[in-house]
Homo-oligomer: A and B are copies of this chain.
Amino acid sequence: MSRLDRSLIAGLPPFEGMAPADLDRMLAQARSQRIAKDEAVFEQEDAAHAFFLLLDGHVRVIKTTPDGQQVIVRYISPGELLGIAHALGRTTYPASAVAAVDCVVLAWPGHLWPEFAAAFPNFGANTYKTVGSRLQDTQTRVVEMATEQVERRVAHALLRLIDQTGRKTEDGILIDFPISRQDIAEMTGTTLHTVSRLLTAWEDQGLVKSGRQKVAVTEPHHLQLLAEGRLPKS
């Protein structure tokens, strides 16, 4: 097994402010792992045996209800932590994480969490900051779900995605991984049918360009207006 180089993680937000020697010490305990598209990094309800850093790819975090409905909690981008149940005082994962594309992650045994938090206070603080901002995001989402109707919610979801993972192309800003109508529906609490209708309507207005598992936003500003609900309904 090859040694993991410090440059893999130096400069990533979770490790900000850490001494190089400490990075090495953390890496010495990590295992790098490849996750094929559509494979799970971890599963809801499983014992939280590890926590992860996404090095490359994109991961969908999904909650499944007792009756089988799914909700996409968030997408994880490279450089972000996931599966940090231990940091929340949990012993079990509250959601599943599935690779949206082929991914590479670093995995640390979960029982190391307390040691790490104590030995590398910056790492601990960075993690808690992450948890805090995820709480913010999630509360914002509750407000959206409670007050906005579907069109605005879907617009907001797309804007967040291009903000988080957008890549400039000739078609506009493309969401950088395969995403289906169903996925967008599961992010916004609607159905794939409604998402499909919205996207075709927006495509007719020249706001987006979309295809099979692919969405690009050509007029982000216009979409923003729509998301904020201050737009004359043509």
Question: Which residues of chain A have a CB within 8 Å of any CB of chain B?
Answer: 63, 65-67, 69, 71, 73, 87-90, 94-95, 128-129, 131-136, 138-139, 141-143, 145-147, 186, 188-189, 228-229
A147 partner residues in chain B, CB cutoff 8 A: 65, 69, 71, 189
CB distance from A73 to the nearest CB of B (A): 6
- Copies of this chain held together in the complex: 2
Which residue of B is nearest A190, CB measured? B146
Please, how many angstroms separate the alpha-carbon atoms of A94 and B139 in the complex? 9
- The reply to whether A135 and B134 contact each other, CB–CB distance below 8 Å, is yes
Please, how many angstroms separate the alpha-carbon atoms of A20 and B125 in the complex? 26
CB distance from A49 to the nearest CB of B (A): 18
A129 partner residues in chain B, CB cutoff 8 A: 88-89
- The reply to whether B132 and A142 contact each other, CB–CB distance below 8 Å, is no
- The 5 A-B residue pairs with the shortest CB-CB distance, nearest first, are A88-B132, A146-B189, A145-B145, A138-B138, A89-B129
Residue of A69, A132, A136, A186 ringed by the most chain B CB atoms within 10 A: A132
Known: A67-B229, A131-B132, A145-B146. 20 other contacts (CB 8 A): A63-B143, A65-B143, A65-B147, A71-B142, A71-B147, A73-B139, A73-B142, A87-B132, A88-B133, A89-B133, A90-B132, A94-B139, A131-B131, A131-B135, A134-B135, A138-B138, A138-B139, A138-B142, A141-B142, A146-B186
What are 29 A-B contacts defined by CB distance under 8 Å? A63-B143, A65-B143, A65-B147, A67-B229, A69-B146, A71-B142, A73-B139, A73-B142, A87-B128, A87-B132, A88-B129, A88-B133, A88-B135, A89-B132, A90-B132, A95-B139, A128-B128, A128-B131, A131-B131, A131-B132, A131-B135, A134-B135, A138-B142, A142-B142, A142-B145, A145-B145, A145-B146, A145-B189, A146-B188
